[in-house]
Amino acid sequence: MTAATSPRSVLWLARQEGLISWRDLAYLMTAGGRWRMRSVVIWIVIVIVIMHAIAWGMVGRYAGMTLDAPPRQLVALTGSIGLGYFLMLSQSLEQVTRLFYGRGDLDLLKSSPVSLHKVLGLRVLSVAATTTAMTLFIAAPFIDVLVYRGGLHWLSGYGVAAASGLATTGVALALTAALFDLMGAKRTRLAAQVVAALIGSAFIIAIQVVAITSIGSMSQATFFQSDFAIAHAPPASSWAWIPARAILGDAVALVLVLAIGAALLIAPMLIFAARLGEYALAAATADGAPGAKDNAGPTAIFLGRFRKAGAGSLLRRKEWVLLLRDPWLASQSLMQLLYLIPPAIFLWRSYGNAQGALVVLAPVLTMAAGQLGGGLAWLAVSGEDAPDLIATAPVSERRVILAKIAAVLMAILAVFTPFLIALAGRSLTIAAVVLIGITLAAASSTLIQVWFRSQAKRRYFRRRQTSSRIATFAEAFSSVAWAGATAVAASPSWYAIGPAVIAVLVLFGTWMIRPK
């Protein structure tokens, strides 16, 4: 053993961190199952091929772009970079927050004679490496297609992606530190998670809202190509185009982007390095703080005190109370509803127009209901906190499941009722079709979660997709199929039967392969 790799040295710690990160990655890929590495590799190859095919269709036509590209194309490219950057920042913020609050081995490290800020500093670097690797993995198919069809100058896209990975980790660290200082350790975790979710969706929503209010379309692609966007874009000499110019092969711009990315990571690390250990200790203290008082809170009316109620009613109300009292879970679930803001604005703007405009909303609302239903169903069914209590209660399993399904569907209907009322004011037929669509989409996602239920902690809500990829894909496919059926039915056309049959077949196929 050399001095550099002797216990407690930076390299030794880095090796340990690398091993843990690799195991985490392997777990994410195999969902904890005993997969052979060969199977994992085959899956990765399949995913890469599919991603290249998707990239070919999406960006192939932009391959001819050069540094002399017209403003219209620069706007589109910069918009895509911005979208990717905000999504990465959202991911980085979650990962950096997890560094301080994850218990795992952090207690062991805190109690060891190893310098805590050294360990946490290494972990921040590990987040930067993971984020960068993930960004490169996702960006690679698009860059490869552009290089193949447009020329080697597109290779600089890898540099921009790497710089973005470094920059987002640095900004995430600065944001987390600011939250610790401003809000204290107890509120930082929730605040960071909410901010992360907001950042992840804010860019898309903001663009859609601007698109609706300016050009009357919900499509981002149409907006970036619009005269409105070009007219309001910065001048050609603006710094705003530097990332786009770097991707297009401008060496100076690329060096600048890489330097800014590195600086944005290194500066917060230097500034906050000495305080990383303090944040971790504060986070651990916040975890043991006493719970909130709930003798008269607004949610108390849902569960109430001792009163006569059937088991079904009790179980439904319990689910709602647990969700409403957990701001993180509520925010994670309801965050999907942020995507309903653009349709809501669209609905408001199109209220006096022809019914054709309203038809656009039908698939959006149905898709959102399917996704929200899947999340809520996972929480109610797989995320049951006291499974032993429910299993040993004198209530049949069928009754328990029915109560949980009802809890999910009633919550979905409560969320979508304002939209349905607004739609009904304009067209009763479209409102009825959307009501049927969101009910079927939410019920399908709920059933899939019931068939593929597997006990898990509620805090793993964000990782629920890893426990069953079949359930995740089935949920997505059924939601898409129901959304299609609702859109066609709202037009109106009997051809809606086609996607509806596909949705039913997806459900039937999923039921056939459910774990028994």
Partner 1 sequence: MARAFCRTRVKRKTMLARDMTANGAGALTQNDALAVRGLRKVYQRPAVDGLDLTVRAGEFYALLGPNGAGKTTTLRMVSGLLRPDAGSIAIFGIDALKQPTAAKQITAWVSDEPMIYDKLTPLEYLAFVAGLWSIAPDAGERTARELLRWLELTPNADERCEGFSKGMRQKVALAGALVHDPRLIILDEPLTGLDAHAARLVKDVLLERVRQGCTVIMTTHILEVAERMAERIGVISQGKLIAEGTLDELRGKAGSKVGDTSLEDVFLTLVGSTQRRHDDRVE
Site of interaction with partner 1 (CB under 8 A)? 288-295, 300, 303-309, 311, 314, 318, 321-322, 325-326, 385-396
Q: Are 408 and 381 in contact (CB under 8 A)?
A: no
Closest distance of CB 324 from partner 1, Å: 9
Q: Name the CA dihedral angle for 184, 186, 192, 198, rounded to a multiple of 10 degrees.
A: -110
Closest distance of CB 191 from partner 1, Å: 18
Closest distance of CB 23 from partner 1, Å: 24
Closest distance of CB 9 from partner 1, Å: 36
> For helices 37-59 and 116-150, what crossing angle results, to 10°?
50
Closer to partner 1 at the Cβ: 236 or 292?
A: 292
d(CA 48, CA 239) in angstroms, rounded, equals: 34
Closest distance of CB 136 from partner 1, Å: 39
Closer to partner 1 at the Cβ: 61 or 462?
A: 462
d(CA 321, CA 307) in angstroms, rounded, equals: 16
List all residues 6 or more positions away from 44 whose beta carbon is below 8 Å from its beta carbon: 29
Closer to partner 1 at the Cβ: 38 or 516?
A: 516
Closest distance of CB 380 from partner 1, Å: 13
d(CA 479, CA 50) in angstroms, rounded, equals: 21
What's the one-letter identity of residue 286? Answer: A
> For helices 428-451 and 397-426, what crossing angle results, to 10°?
160
Closer to partner 1 at the Cβ: 38 or 307?
A: 307
What's the one-letter identity of residue 174? Answer: A
Closest distance of CB 395 from partner 1, Å: 6
And the tokens for 225? 């190509």
Helical H runs in 102-183?
106-111, 116-150, 156-183
Rg for the chain, CA atoms, rounded: 25
Closest distance of CB 465 from partner 1, Å: 23
Closer to partner 1 at the Cβ: 24 or 294?
A: 294
**Maximum pairwise Cα distance, the chain:** 77
Query: What is the CA angle 379-433-407, rounded to 5?
Result: 20
Provide φ and ψ at 235, rounded to 5°.
-65, 165
Q: Are 487 and 362 in contact (CB under 8 A)?
A: yes
Closer to partner 1 at the Cβ: 396 or 493?
A: 396
Closer to partner 1 at the Cβ: 68 or 388?
A: 388
Closest distance of CB 396 from partner 1, Å: 6
Closer to partner 1 at the Cβ: 45 or 386?
A: 386
Closer to partner 1 at the Cβ: 38 or 293?
A: 293
> For helices 116-150 and 156-183, what crossing angle results, to 10°?
150
Residue with tokens 């609905």: 347
Q: Are 434 and 366 in contact (CB under 8 A)?
A: yes
What's the one-letter identity of residue 426? Answer: R
Residue with tokens 């997806």: 506
Residue with tokens 């193949």: 148
Closest distance of CB 349 from partner 1, Å: 39
Closest distance of CB 176 from partner 1, Å: 22
Instruction: Please state the length of the chain.
Output: 516
List all residues 6 or more positions away from 298 whose beta carbon is below 8 Å from its beta carbon: none
Closer to partner 1 at the Cβ: 33 or 70?
A: 33
Closest distance of CB 277 from partner 1, Å: 24
Closer to partner 1 at the Cβ: 303 or 420?
A: 303
Q: Are 192 and 93 in contact (CB under 8 A)?
A: yes
Q: Are 181 and 282 in contact (CB under 8 A)?
A: no
Q: Are 132 and 166 in contact (CB under 8 A)?
A: yes
Closer to partner 1 at the Cβ: 2 or 295?
A: 295
d(CA 429, CA 441) in angstroms, rounded, equals: 18
Closest distance of CB 447 from partner 1, Å: 23
d(CA 376, CA 514) in angstroms, rounded, equals: 19
Closer to partner 1 at the Cβ: 330 or 422?
A: 330
Q: Are 404 and 443 in contact (CB under 8 A)?
A: no
